[in-house]
Amino acid sequence: MGFYNNQKKIENSILTTPEYEILHQKAFTHTKKNIDEFVFEVSSHSISKQRINHFPINIAAITNISKDHLDFHKTILNYRNTKFKLFTQHLKDDGVAILNDNINGIAILKKKLKQKKIKIITYGARKSNVHCFKKNNKFYIKIFNKNFFLKLFDYNKFELDNLSCAVGCCISIGIKNKEIINSIAKINKPRGRLQEIGKLKDGSKVIIDYAHTPDALKNILFATKINNIKPNLLFGCGGNRDKSKRKTMGLIANKFAAKVYVTDDNPRNENPFKIRQSILSKCSKAVEIPDRSIAIQKAINELNNGEILIIAGKGHEEKQIIKNKIVNFNDAKIARFYLNRRNKL
């Protein structure tokens, strides 16, 4: 989403993990200004392409491993092994590893790290060191067997897991439990992640989310299912990326969404019709609308009686890539426009 300093955006970033020389220069600039922590996201591509080589990582955290980037890594095993290299090859020997206990194969990584005597903080499961949970409609967090009440509203399981991961990182840099708990209540959800855009007069609402993998799509549909009522879904799949996930996402949409609108995401240099057809082959209930703006308009116009519409895949993005053209496109702005127009009727 870009480079930030004290929550203020400094500039955009094209890549999840910047190129080797940019990453090193950014970190050097920060340390020169006596800024204690330099936090960045490490993509599996950046590990494979050696962008984080010779970078002293003190704390490494992993949130999940799902079916993603298989156009690059070919198999889920290669993808997992690449992600694990963050801990086995790049984390300092006196560093701290923050691990999600729910990841398939995490025991293998734990064993390797214990052999290197690297400190481990786990999260995500009841047995973990850090665990967020809901009881009697109230949220709590366990930090090393001590339970704390959290002032949270509308958090779902994967958000609680992400929060637990962040708490593990805070513990690693020496922040006290009381400071952590007090800060959690002030956290705003990131733009484009389960972001509520607006409501109609009948109580229907529109949410945008960055979900663009099978696992993420399933999570978002589960999270927005209320009183056994499934949400509506609008989505597509990106071109020149993992083709194998398209049918899987179609299956998930068909099973866990009420109404489905299949449209274009970032088709890039692929034929957008073929991308849509791949999704539709496993999603018989879907309506096909190539133009994403028209699809959003139709999906909002067909909302009624408190339904929820999820617009998935692009989240915070402000561009759409079609062949070699990059055009301005923002799901949130377009959704707000059609919500406002319908509310005025």
| Per-residue pLDDT tens digits for 122-131 | 999 999 999 9
Residue pair 167/141 in contact by the 8 Å Cβ criterion: yes
Mean pLDDT lowest for which of 34-48, 84-98, 116-130, 292-306?
34-48
Q: For 62-176, list the strands marked E by DSSP.
A: 91-100, 119-123, 130-135, 138-143, 146-150
Q: Residue 234 forms beta bridges with which residues?
A: 261, 311
Q: Residue 286 forms beta bridges with which residues?
A: 260
Rounded Cα–Cα distance for residues 65 and 46 (Å): 16
Instruction: Considering the domain delimited by 195-344, tell me its CATH architecture.
Output: Alpha-Beta Complex (3.90)
**Is residue 34's pLDDT more than 70?**
no
**Would you list the domain boundaries of the chain?**
42-184, 195-344
pLDDT in tens, 166-187: 999 999 999 999 999 999 988 8
**Is residue 36's pLDDT more than 90?**
no
Per-residue confidence (pLDDT) for residue 231, from 0 to 100 = 98
Same fold, 42-184 and 195-344: no
Strands 260-262 and 146-150: unpaired
Give the pLDDT band of residue 31 (cuts 50, 70, 90). low
Per-residue confidence (pLDDT) for residue 54, from 0 to 100 = 92
**Is residue 156's pLDDT more than 90?**
no
Per-residue confidence (pLDDT) for residue 136, from 0 to 100 = 92
Per-residue confidence (pLDDT) for residue 328, from 0 to 100 = 97
pLDDT in tens, 285-318: 999 999 999 999 999 999 999 999 999 999 999 9
The helix (H) or strand (E) run that includes residue 335 is helix 331-344
CATH top class, domain 42-184 = alpha beta
End-to-end CA distance of the chain: 36
Per-residue confidence (pLDDT) for residue 37, from 0 to 100 = 84
